[in-house]
Amino acid sequence: MFETKFNQSKVIVVGGAGFVGSNLVKMLLNNNPETKVVAIDNLMSAEKENLPLDNNRLTFIQGSIADQVVLDQINDDVDYIFHLATYHGNQSSIHDPLADHANNTYTTLRLMDWVKHFKNLKKLVYSSAGCSVAEKTFDEAKATTEQEFTNIKHDSPYSISKIIGEFYSVYYHNQHQLPTVRARFQNVYGPGEVLGAGQWRGTPATIWRNVTPTFIYKAIKGINLPLENGGVASRDFIFVDDICRGLIACALNGKAGEVYNIASGKDITIADWANTIVETAGSTSKVELLPKRAWDNSGKRYGSTDKSEKEIGFKAEVDYKEGLKKVISWTKENLERIEKTMKKHEKFLSI
């Protein structure tokens, strides 16, 4: 068992019904027999079935963290907060920047402002995104370190919101000594990412919410995999258990005010990722070459792992081929549930 030493702590996971959030909630409950967990989520991009609702150490609060009625239920008896709420994802935020603001930037501000004087709080871990600071290059990627400055030019309101969350993390730490730690994620994949989870957010990306679950679903169904821009872009893919371990390392070992990359430290092109998925799933699908997405200039990237290895003792453990095998099996086992969730949005697709 992976020991996490939260003991009798009370932990809040904001965005706790989401993909990463629900995996984190389960890891916290499973590895810490005395820990109480509160998951807060408005189910904007999640289904509550993701949570182990029958566990009596879990409390689920359904609502937005930006609403006062929800904040009123958070008191200074909380030891750790993980802030994972976001308006998922880039395309939804481009379609509706105000909804992104309300569920992304504003959630961070409301939460940090509410807890700024909490004396018991040991750490507030903010989930940031490597895309907000990575160099935009289609040449060979170099490891993005924590030192990188953010460009003023961002591809989406989502990316802007993520970096503003970092600004607030640093501001509330400096001004109010709020013990914030920023965890900069790379691309997460793993069981529990349900295509179409949550409410319609204006574009088909509500269903096709990320490259890995999209490719896996299509590979299982024998549908061709859409490969934008020849699949030349690359990403640092990290298995969800590793991300959760990284978040926990940030909470337990991270220094307040600091930032840590939670990455695998390797990049793989989207074309190679697609081919590995097709091969691992034993699929007949082919790749279908599509033009570059007009808004997407993010190119090739991966995160440097030096600082997180040295300072918080975090290193990703799951090999990507093993990780993909697990997600493919999980997707096959949960196909009925996933398709039911995807189907909810059919009526919007025809508009």
Q: Which residues bind ligand NAD (CB under 6 A)?
A: 14-15, 17-21, 40-46, 64-66, 84-88, 103, 107, 127, 129, 162, 185, 187-188, 198
Rank residues 36 and 162 by Cβ distance to ligand NAD and give the closer one: 162
Q: What are phi and psi of 181, to 5 degrees?
A: -130, 135
Rank residues 88 and 218 by Cβ distance to ligand NAD and give the closer one: 88
* CA atoms in the 13 A half-sphere facing the CB of 84: 30
State in angstroms the smallest separation of the CB of 63 from ligand NAD: 7
State in angstroms the smallest separation of the CB of 70 from ligand NAD: 7
CA distance linking residue 152 with residue 160, whole number of Å: 9
State in angstroms the smallest separation of the CB of 205 from ligand NAD: 11
State in angstroms the smallest separation of the CB of 263 from ligand NAD: 10
State in angstroms the smallest separation of the CB of 193 from ligand NAD: 7
Contact status, residue 162 vs residue 101, Cβ threshold 8 Å: no
State in angstroms the smallest separation of the CB of 286 from ligand NAD: 26
State in angstroms the smallest separation of the CB of 222 from ligand NAD: 26
Rank residues 103 and 222 by Cβ distance to ligand NAD and give the closer one: 103
Rank residues 21 and 254 by Cβ distance to ligand NAD and give the closer one: 21
State in angstroms the smallest separation of the CB of 211 from ligand NAD: 9
Contact status, residue 194 vs residue 337, Cβ threshold 8 Å: yes
Rank residues 10 and 184 by Cβ distance to ligand NAD and give the closer one: 184
Rank residues 88 and 123 by Cβ distance to ligand NAD and give the closer one: 88
Which residues have a Cβ under 8 Å from the Cβ of 170 and sit 6 or more positions away? 180, 182, 257
CA distance linking residue 9 with residue 306, whole number of Å: 29
Rank residues 264 and 285 by Cβ distance to ligand NAD and give the closer one: 264
Q: How many residues does the chain have?
A: 351
Rank residues 14 and 316 by Cβ distance to ligand NAD and give the closer one: 14
**In the 8-state DSSP scheme, what is residue 140?**
-
Return the bridge partners of 127, or none. Answer: 183
State in angstroms the smallest separation of the CB of 38 from ligand NAD: 12
Q: How many helices (H) and strands (E) does the chain have?
A: 13, 13
**Burial class of residue 63 in the structure, from the number of CB atoms within 10 Å of its CB (0-12 exposed, 13-18 middle, 19+ buried):** middle
Q: What are phi and psi of 173, to 5 degrees?
A: -70, -45
Q: Which residue is nearest to ligand NAD (CB)?
A: 18
CA distance linking residue 198 with residue 162, whole number of Å: 20
Q: Name the amino acid, one letter, at 218.
A: K
Which residues have a Cβ under 8 Å from the Cβ of 222 and sit 6 or more positions away? 283, 284, 285
Handedness of CA 182, 168, 86, 78 (dihedral sign): positive
Place of tokens 């820990």: 35
Rank residues 224 and 307 by Cβ distance to ligand NAD and give the closer one: 307
| 275 token code pair | 């081919």
Place of tokens 């359904």: 62
